[in-house]
Amino acid sequence: MRFVSFYRADGRAVPGFIDQDHSGAACVVDVTLPGNDPWAAALPPDMLSWVDMGLDRLAARLRDCRFAAGARIPLGDGRLAAPLPRPGKIVGAAFNYRDALRERDMAPPATPVIFIKSGRTVIGPDQPVRLAADVGNVTYEAELAVVIGRTALRIDAAQAPAHIAGYLTLNDVSASDMVRADKAFVRGKNQPTFCPCGPWIATPDEVAEPGALAVTLRLDGTLRQAGNTADLVFGVAELIAYASTQMPLDPGDIIATGTPAGVAASHQPAAWLRPGSAMVAEVQGLGALRNPITTDDS
């Protein structure tokens, strides 16, 4: 099942899922609308609670529910939020694509290189990435991301799949000048709006092979990144296992698996993000994530 968060007319972001209407067109189902199946209408009104309850279990139950006629909203008419508007934390992986390492003439790391990105950097589809005047050169980074569904602490790679709630597209926007100046990731990865996510969370049964997904980024229509998760140095299960040895992973945390070759600095001229541009990150089967670029004061 594909889970989303979307904005109601009152501005609240509430959870739902993508289904089809009677004509076969894609729609968003407003699960908690009065008049729906009573069990569904009583669900908590936030996606983090749903993740904690178990998206796979919710999906099985929701497929059997009946919904009011007004509960289905055409996908094109709904305004989607980040599917998980406020995750606990985002654990990012650096230097994790072989093609990106070759591009930089770097050897693969012996163990995963990880960093923390605040959940407060998250924005959703079509929301603007805002560039402050003092952040310097900023790049896009299209990535496959994993939502943690069960607490993981010191697990091994074989146990990791049981802790996955789902997958989504993530754009790890990064202030390259800050990362370079600090020789660390904290400032450069944690500017406001620097983590677009969406458009949905796909449960594991929707993703046949997470180790063989195309990952692309287009900036103003020009293809800038074109990789595949088959090129990951450390795969999804290895990253989850390693991160769980460094800290507890809790339901609603996100693991961002790294980005392929083609970040802004690798192009001639460099393809730094500029106000007025728009980027589209996409992971095969997980939807296209579009975000415009604006100034911080616009």
Q: Name which of 105, 79, 69, 111 is nearest 13 in CA terms.
A: 79
Radius of gyration of the chain (CA): 19
Tokens of 161: 């799949």
Residues 6+ apart with CB under 8 A from 92: 114, 115, 116, 117, 172, 185, 189, 256, 258
Q: Using an 8 Å Cβ cutoff, are 102 and 233 in contact? A: no
pLDDT digits (tens, 9 = 90+) for 177-229: 999 999 999 999 999 999 999 999 999 999 989 999 999 999 999 999 999 99
**173 vs 254: CA distance, rounded Å:** 15
Segment among 16-25, 46-55, 110-119, 231-240 with least mean pLDDT? 16-25
Which domains occur in the chain, in start order?
2-80 (no CATH), 89-295 (3.90.850.10)
Q: How would you class 72 by CB atoms within 10 Å of its CB: exposed for 0-12, middle for 13-18, buried for 19 or more?
A: buried
Q: What pLDDT was estimated at residue 24? A: 79
Locate 167 and state its tokens: 């997958």
* Percent above pLDDT 90 for the chain: 90
The full DSSP string for 72-122 is EEETTTSEEE-SSSS-SEEEEEES-BHHHHHHTT-PPPSS-EEEEEEGGGE
Q: What is the pTM of this model?
A: 0.96
Segment 137-160, tens digit of pLDDT: 999 999 999 999 999 999 999 999
Higher pLDDT residue, 9 or 214? 214
The pLDDT score that the predictor gives to residue 298 is 58
Q: How confident is the model at residue 77 (pLDDT cuts 50, 70, 90)?
A: confident
Which of 20-34, 62-76, 244-258: highest mean pLDDT?
244-258
Q: Is 265 a residue whose pLDDT tops 70? A: yes
**pLDDT per residue as tens digits for the range 80-103:** 999 999 999 999 999 999 999 999
Considering only CA atoms, which of 40, 25, 37 is closest in space to residue 72? 25
Half-sphere exposure of 30 toward its Cβ, with a 13 Å CA cutoff?
20
Confidence check: pLDDT of 34 > 90 = no
Bridge partners for 15 per DSSP: 5
User: Cβ distance 141 to 174 under 8 Å?
Assistant: yes
DSSP state for residue 128 in the 8-state scheme = P
pLDDT of residue 42: 94
CA 143 to chain CA centroid, nearest Å: 8
Burial classification of residue 216, based on how many CB atoms lie within 10 Å of its CB (0-12 exposed, 13-18 middle, 19 or more buried): buried
Is the pLDDT score of 47 beyond 90?
yes
Amino acid at 150: R
Task: State the chain's mean pLDDT as an integer.
Answer: 96
Cis ω for the linkage preceding 275 (within 30 of 0)? no
Q: Is the pLDDT of residue 65 over 90?
A: yes
Its sign, for the CA torsion 51, 54, 57, 58, is negative
Confirm if 130 and 141 have CB atoms less than 8 A apart: no
